Structures are given as C-alpha cells and as structure tokens.
Amino acid sequence: MTDGVFSWWFFLCAVSALNALGWLMSATKLAQRKGLFSTEVYAMRRLQVLLSAGYVSGCAFRSALPVYDVQRMVVVDSWLSSVVVGRSVATIAELCFVAQWALMLREISRATGSGVGLTTSRVVVPLIAVAEICSWYSVLTTSNLGHVIEESIWGLSAALMVASLVAIWPVCDAAVRRLLAAWCAMGVAYVAFMFAVDVPMYWSRWLADEASGRLYLDLAQGLADVSQRWVVSHRWADWKSEVVWMSLYFSVAVWLSIALIHAPVLVRRTASEPRARQWVTLAPLPRRAST
C-alpha cells in the first residue's frame, strides 16, 4: 500500500473510532438526563440517538472498507468490501441521517407553527429514498447519469431545508436565530458544493463515457457484478478523486449527526407586544437536584 493511501485509510479508521466514542458518550449523557426532559422531547432525542447510531456505524464500516462503487475498487480484499455490501450499508446510513434532519425540522416547525417546515420535513426522506434508487441504478449499470440525478436531489433537499429555516427565522428569538444561522450557513455551503463541484463531476464523467462509447450493464448483470467482483487497489492515483468527499463525509457529516442528539429544546412564548406575537426561544434545561 502506498504511503498516501495508507495515511488516508488510517485517518478514516481513527476518525471513525473517535466518532463511535463520541456517539457512546452522547447516548450515555442523554440517558443520564432523561428525567430533565418531557416525555415527548426525550422520545425525540432517543430516536435521534438510534438514527445517529445507524449513520455512525454505517460510516465507520465504510471507512474501514472504502469502496469506489462504479469502478468496483476497494482497499481491503474481502467480500465485505464488495459493492453490494457497501452500497447496502450506505443506503441505510444515509436514510438514517436524513431522517434525523427531518425529525429536527418537524420539531422546530411545530414549535413555530411553520407549515413550510412541516411540509419539507415530510418530503425530504421520500426524496432521498428516490436518490438512493438513482444511486443503485448507477452502481449496477456503471452509468454516472444516475449519480447526477442522485446528487441533484441531495442538493435540492438541502436547499428546501435551508428555505424552511429561513421561513422560520422571523418568529425566533436571537438565540434561536444564531442556531438557525449556523445551520443555514452549512446548508448553503453544502448546496454550493453539490451544484458547483459534485454534480458537474458526475456529469462530466457521464459525458466522457458517452463519448468513448462505453457499454453499460443491465440491472441483472450489474447485480451479479457488484456481488462477485471487486478490484483491490492501493494506488493513490486511483483513489485521489474520492479522498476529499469521503474524508468530509465520514468526519464532518458524522459530527453533525451526533450533534443533533444535543440540539436545544425550543418552546413558544408570547412576546410583550401590542399584538402578542408568538416567539420561539430556547428552553432553559432544568438542573438536576443535588443529592
């Protein structure tokens, strides 16, 4: 294995181990503070913990066994590295991750009475389910056109989330607005990356394949191929195009997943205004009584 690939692979594995420890500490902390939350809030945070577990473990698996799907390229020579296994794990993990954001948006939208946010919280998971189908199409057939549609849907879903948070902004207090601003900034950066870098990359790959007259597999052929064939490569040249997105995906995205477990509780209050406008603010967490 070349030094570059080994260093990158070691980085992914080390970050995944730290991520698993962070998730365990978060789950333990939530359990210890159970009595400080209302039944409904604790149930939502508990669901966040479970969904985050799906995402953290899925990303850890994919970090230990990196796969370049369309090229059928792997670092570790094992059937666990096969594309059919890796893509299945990725599908479950990604649905868990988007479900976390949908739940959080629903919670905020209920507190603010936002119909836009509630609608978005209902559609983002089905949208990503369609994106996963497109991903499987590309993985099975080796046509990057499915990835173009997949990544476009991810970008669109993030844009809808940002638009929903912006719509909620006017009825939130300053403390909540700072939180929304941080989420919106991350969302805008993600959308910009998807449509400026990721989608064009897959589009150019598809155009290059079309120009070269590449023959694609049908779905049955593709299923047999991803189940039985993988190519072991330890060359930096083969992996360098995947390094940036995998490194960010298996680190920063996982940190966001864990952070959602600790998202503040929002409550509605009446502002002292002539029209008694409703505002959403952060609820102070009760302190545990000393013994």
Q: How confident is the model at residue 35 (pLDDT cuts 50, 70, 90)?
A: confident
Q: How confident is the model at residue 239 (pLDDT cuts 50, 70, 90)?
A: very high
How large a percentage of the chain has pLDDT more than 70?
Answer: 92
User: Two tokens at 146?
Assistant: 């499915």
CA distance 44 to 260: 11
> Mean pLDDT, the chain, as a whole number?
89
**Pair 9, 50: CB distance under 8 Å:** no
Positive or negative: CA dihedral 239, 95, 99, 166: positive
User: pTM to 2 decimals?
Assistant: 0.89
Q: How confident is the model at residue 275 (pLDDT cuts 50, 70, 90)?
A: very low
How large is the average pLDDT for residues 233-237? Answer: 92
Q: How confident is the model at residue 284 (pLDDT cuts 50, 70, 90)?
A: low
Q: Is the pLDDT of residue 79 over 80?
A: yes
How large is the average pLDDT for residues 5-16? Answer: 95
pLDDT given at position 291: 43
Q: Is the pLDDT of residue 200 over 90?
A: yes
Positive or negative: CA dihedral 231, 234, 237, 241: positive
* Residue found under tokens 């998202």: 263
82-125 pLDDT per residue, tens? 999 999 999 999 999 999 999 999 988 888 888 999 999 999 99
Q: Which residues touch 162 (CB under 8 Å, ≥6 apart)? A: 183, 184, 187, 188, 191
Three-class secondary structure of residue 290 per DSSP: coil
CA distance 99 to 107: 12
Listed residue (196, 209, 186) closest to 259, CA to CA = 186
In degrees, to the nearest 5, what angle opens at C-alpha 195 toward C-alphas 107 and 139?
90
User: Two tokens at 137?
Assistant: 């199409």
How large a percentage of the chain has pLDDT more than 90?
Answer: 71
* Sheet hosting strand 73-74, strand order edge to edge: 67-68, 73-74, 231-232
CA distance 125 to 98: 6
Q: Which residues of 56-92 are buried (b: 16+ CB within 10 A; e: fewer)?
A: bbbbbbbbbbbbbbbbbbbbeeeeebbbbbbbebbbe
pLDDT given at position 264: 82
Listed residue (116, 85, 123, 107) closest to 38, CA to CA = 107
